Amino acid sequence: MMVKFIMVMSSVDTRTTSAKLWKKINSGMPDIMEEHGNNLMAFNDEIRLVQNELFTRGEDPTNIVPQLFEAYEGMHNGEGKMGCYVKLISNRHSAGEDYTDVSLMEAIDTKYQELTEMMTRTRRRRAKRRTRSWPFSRRLPTCSRT
């Protein structure tokens, strides 16, 4: 009798956990994006973790491309270089180009990493320009009278 009770309880727990994970993927992506401060790589990593959890429970969470596009397009209201890239991929997808959840997340990760590296290089160059000293801006040594 106790074994049956434990089996029923574990089954209920598994179904509840699966339902929570599905909710996270189906309607919770904007919240996940907000949690990670619009960091797309961290967002994608979290989605992959949720997918892996569902895979281990015997479910197939691979058809999430529409939810991914919705989350990506909602980031920064689709503005900026990353927003333009997401719109480009979305238009290609609408025109018939096939994207899986894996290929879409990889494309977004790659572009996000390129843009963040480019921004880092630009910031470094600007900082270097600000700290550069010109010969005319140096102070001349003062002569002390003895």
At 79, give phi and psi (nearest 5°). -100, 165
pLDDT tens per residue across span 23-68: 888 888 888 988 988 889 999 999 999 999 999 888 888 889 999 9
Give, in degrees to the nearest 5, the angle at Cα 49 between 45 and 53.
170
Residue 121: CB atoms within 10 A of its CB come to 10
Express each pLDDT in 125-139 by its tens digit: 887 777 655 555 555
pLDDT in tens, 91-114: 999 999 999 999 999 999 999 999
pLDDT of residue 79: 75
Instruction: Please say whether the beta carbons of 94 and 66 come within 8 A.
Output: no
Structure tokens at 73: 């397009």
Mean pLDDT of the residues in the chain: 82
pTM assigned to the model: 0.72
Q: How far is 8 from 14, CA to CA, in rounded Å?
A: 10
pLDDT at 11 over 60: no
